[in-house]
Amino acid sequence: MEREDPRIRVNQAGYRLTDSKRFVAACAGGRFEIRREAGGQAVYAGELAGPAADEASGEGVYEGDFSSLREEGTYRVFVPGAGESLPFRVDAQAYRSVTDALLKCFYFQRCGMELEAPYAGVWTHKACHLGLARVHGEEEVMLPQTGGWHDAGDYGKYTVAAAKAAADLLLAFETFPAAFGRTIGIPESGNGVPDLLNEVRYELEFLLRMQRPDGSVFHKVTTERFPALDAMPEDDAAELVFSPVSAAAAGAFAASMAMAARAFRAYDAGFSDTCLEAAVRAWEWLEAAPDRTGFRNPADIHTGEYGDETTDDEAYWAAAELFRTTGRDVYRDAFRSAFESARFPLYELGWADVGGYGTLAVLLTESGRIGADIRDRLLRGWMDRADELKARCDRGGYRISLTPDQYIWGSNMVLMNQAMHLIFASKFSGDSAYEDAARNHWDYLLGVNPLGLSYVTGIGARAVRHPHHRPSVGDGIEDPVPGMVAGGPNRNLQDEAAKRELQGRPPALCFVDDRDSYSTNEMTIYWNSPAVFVSACFEG
C-alpha cells in the first residue's frame, strides 16, 4: 500500500455508479490512477486537470475525473509522486446511509424522553428537561415546555432555529419523497407514517407548547446560562426560563406550522388542523403586533440570542405559506403587499433571513394563484441568483459557490443552503447543470475540501471526531453521536480554541476539530436540515 496523502481529497461517502465523480489533489499534476482497495489493481487511469487557484484556501489544486468508472467496489485514488487517497466506495446506494444518519441525528437531539438502546445504540441517555419553565418577567407563571429537539451542542430550544430545521425537512420530504420510504429506527418507526414526518412531529408538538393563548410565541426556552460542556442532558438541572415572545418567533412559527398542516393532511387530519389553527393564531397576533422589532436577550439570559433585526421577512414567509395551505385571499393580499414593500433578501434560507422560504412557497404554488406578475419576478430572481452561484462554482478550485467572506460561523449551512438553491433552480428550469454545481457542495461536505475532512460525524474514513456537542463530550462513549454536520470553517475566530489554533489561516482552513471550538465545530439542527435535503437529492 502507498502512503495516504491528505492532499488527495475524495467524497468519503463514495460515489454512485452513474454519478460524475470528481476528486481534488492539492499536489503536483500529472497522471492518476484509481486502484482497487483489495489487491491494488489499477482499474482506471486519467490525467489531472489544473492547477486552479483556490482563493478561499490559498491553494493551487488539480482536479481528477473518473466518472466513467461505473463498477461497484472499494477504491483509492493514486497519484504517482504523492500517494493515495482515503478509501471510498463506488456504490449504487452510496448515500442512503448518509440520508438516514443525517435524519436520525434529529432523534439524537430529542429532549424530554429517554433515548433507549434499541434506537440510540450506545448513545443512550435518560429523559431530560422534564420540568415546567418560568416565564421571564412573570415570576409566578410556570408553563410546560417538554419535548422537541435540543438546538445544538447546547440544550436550549429556540423557535426560529426550529422553524428553519422543520422547513428544510418538510421541503426535503415534499421534493424527494422516495428518499424517505425507509425506517430509520426511531420509536415511531413502522406506524404507517414516514419517519421524517414522525421525527418532525416530535418538534412540532413541542413548538405548539411555545405558543401562548393570545397566539404569540416565545422566542426560546433555555436555562439562564449554558451548562458545563460535559453535562449530560439529564444532569442539566438548572431552572428553565421562557424568554419573551417575539415577532420573529411568531412569523417563523406561523410559516412552519402552515407547512406542517399540508404535510400531515394525508396522515392525520386532526393534527394537520391543529397546526393550521396554531399558524393562523400566530399570524393574527403578528398582524396586530404593535411592535415588530427583533429580539434581544434579556439581561439575565446568556444563552443563544438568535437576534433578528428584520422581521418583515418572517411575515412574508408566513403569508406565503398560509396562502399556499389555505388559498385564502387575505393571505395572498398580505403576501403581495409584503413583497411590494420588501426591504429584505428574497432568496435567503437562514434562521434570521427567511425570505427564500416565502419565495419558495410561491414558486411551488401552481402558477397564477398568487399572480403571474409576482411569480415571474421571483422565478427570474431565483434563477439569476442560481446563475451567480453557478458562475462562482466555475472559478474556485473546489467548484463550490462560497465566497471567501462566507466562511462564517456555520459556513457549512451556507454551503448546503446554496446547494439547495441550485437544486431548486434545476427543478424550476429543467437544466441539470445547476444540480451538477450543487453536487460539488455535497462532495465538499463529505471530504473534497481543503482539510480533507468529512464534516459529518460517523460518515467517511476521516470525519470530525470531537464536535462541541455536550452529549458527545459527556457520555463516555469514544465515538461522537453520528450523523451530525459540523459548523465548518469560520474565518472570524470566535472562540478561544479557534484563536489559539487558527491565527493567520486562510478562510477555508479556519476549522479545528476540537470540542472547545463552538464557533467552528458545533452542530445544530438547522445545519443538519439542509444537508438532509441535499442528501435526499443525491441519493436517488
- Does the annotation mark 59 as catalytic? no
> Packing angle between helix 247-264 and helix 355-363, nearest 10 degrees?
30
∠ CA 331-335-337, rounded to 5°: 120
Residue 175 binds which of Zn ion, ligand G3I, ligand 9MR, none (CB < 5-8 A, kind-dependent): none
> Distance of alpha carbon 315 from its chain centroid, rounded?
22
Q: Closer to ligand 9MR at the Cβ: 220 or 421?
A: 220
CA distance 497 to 298: 28
Binding site for ligand 9MR (CB under 6 A): 152-154, 226, 229, 304, 518, 522
State which amino acid sits at residue 334.
A
505 Cβ neighbours under 8 A, 6+ residues apart? none
339, 313 contact by CB (below 8 A): no
CA distance 173 to 74: 31
Closest-CA residue to 389 (of 447, 354, 349, 339): 349
Q: Closer to ligand G3I at the Cβ: 95 or 306?
A: 306
Among positions 180-239, residues that touch Zn ion (CB under 5 A) are: 233
φ, ψ of residue 70 in degrees (nearest 5): -125, 20
For residue 493, the minimal CB distance to ligand G3I (Å) is 10
Kindly state whether residue 111 participates in binding Zn ion, applying the rule CB under 5 A. yes
State which amino acid sits at residue 160.
V
- Does the annotation mark 114 as catalytic? no
Kindly state whether residue 524 participates in binding ligand G3I, applying the rule CB under 6 A. yes
Kindly state whether residue 152 participates in binding ligand G3I, applying the rule CB under 6 A. yes
CA distance 2 to 10: 16
Residue 251 binds which of ligand G3I, ligand 9MR, Zn ion, none (CB < 5-8 A, kind-dependent): none
Q: Among the candidate windows 139-147, 291-299, 443-451, 518-526, which touches ligand G3I by CB under 6 A? A: 518-526
Is residue 51 reached through a cis peptide bond, with omega within 30 degrees of 0 on the bond before it?
yes
Q: For residue 139, with 0-12 CB atoms within 10 Å meaning exposed, 13-18 middle and 19 or more buried, which class applies?
A: exposed
Kindly state whether residue 154 participates in binding ligand G3I, applying the rule CB under 6 A. yes
φ, ψ of residue 321 in degrees (nearest 5): -70, -40
For residue 301, the minimal CB distance to ligand 9MR (Å) is 12
Residue 524 binds which of ligand G3I, ligand 9MR, Zn ion, none (CB < 5-8 A, kind-dependent): ligand G3I
What are the residues facing 59 on neighbouring strands?
A: 54
CA distance 309 to 172: 28
For residue 467, the minimal CB distance to ligand 9MR (Å) is 11
Q: Which of 236, 468, 514, 539 is catalytic?
A: 468
Residue 195 binds which of ligand G3I, ligand 9MR, Zn ion, none (CB < 5-8 A, kind-dependent): none
For residue 474, the minimal CB distance to ligand 9MR (Å) is 12
Tell me which of 51, 58, 304, 371 binds ligand G3I, using CB under 6 A: 304
- Does the annotation mark 468 as catalytic? yes
Residue 492 binds which of ligand 9MR, ligand G3I, Zn ion, none (CB < 5-8 A, kind-dependent): ligand G3I
Q: Which of 63, 154, 236, 314 is catalytic?
A: 154
Number of residues that bind ligand G3I (CB under 6 A): 15
Q: Among the candidate windows 75-83, 103-111, 147-155, 422-430, which touches ligand G3I by CB under 6 A? A: 147-155
- Does the annotation mark 443 as catalytic? no
Residue 229 binds which of ligand 9MR, ligand G3I, Zn ion, none (CB < 5-8 A, kind-dependent): ligand 9MR
Q: Closer to ligand 9MR at the Cβ: 272 or 412?
A: 412
Kindly state whether residue 129 participates in binding Zn ion, applying the rule CB under 5 A. yes
Q: Closer to ligand G3I at the Cβ: 151 or 313?
A: 151
Q: Closer to ligand G3I at the Cβ: 14 or 530?
A: 530
The DSSP 8-state label assigned to residue 517 in this structure reads -
Q: Among the candidate windows 256-264, 303-311, 333-341, 361-369, which touches ligand G3I by CB under 6 A? A: 303-311
**Binding-site string for ligand G3I from residue 487 to residue 516, where x marks contact by CB under 6 A and - marks none:** -----x-x----------------------
Residue 274 binds which of ligand G3I, ligand 9MR, Zn ion, none (CB < 5-8 A, kind-dependent): none
What are the residues facing 8 on neighbouring strands?
A: 25
φ, ψ of residue 458 in degrees (nearest 5): 80, -5
Residue 226 binds which of ligand G3I, ligand 9MR, Zn ion, none (CB < 5-8 A, kind-dependent): ligand 9MR
Kindly state whether residue 353 participates in binding ligand G3I, applying the rule CB under 6 A. no
φ, ψ of residue 183 in degrees (nearest 5): -85, 150
For residue 227, the minimal CB distance to ligand 9MR (Å) is 8
- Report how far apart, in Å, the C-alpha atoms of 395 and of each of 104, 235, 243 are: 35, 49, 45
Q: For residue 404, with 0-12 CB atoms within 10 Å meaning exposed, 13-18 middle and 19 or more buried, which class applies?
A: middle
For residue 483, the minimal CB distance to ligand G3I (Å) is 17
Among positions 256-275, residues that touch ligand G3I (CB under 6 A) are: none
Closest-CA residue to 170 (of 540, 424, 529): 529
Q: Which of 59, 100, 495, 513 is catalytic?
A: 513
CA distance 179 to 452: 27
Closest-CA residue to 531 (of 249, 171, 19): 171
For residue 492, the minimal CB distance to ligand 9MR (Å) is 13
| Strand blocks (E) in 94-161 | 133-135, 142-143, 157-158
**3-state helix/strand/coil string of 185-230:** CCCCCCCCCCHHHHHHHHHHHHHHHCECCCCCEECEEEECCCCCCC
For residue 303, the minimal CB distance to ligand 9MR (Å) is 7
Residues at the contact surface with Zn ion, assessed by CB under 5 A = 111, 128-129, 233
The residues carrying an active-site annotation are: 154, 468, 513, 522
Residues at the contact surface with ligand G3I, assessed by CB under 6 A = 151-152, 154, 156, 304-306, 408-410, 492, 494, 518, 522, 524
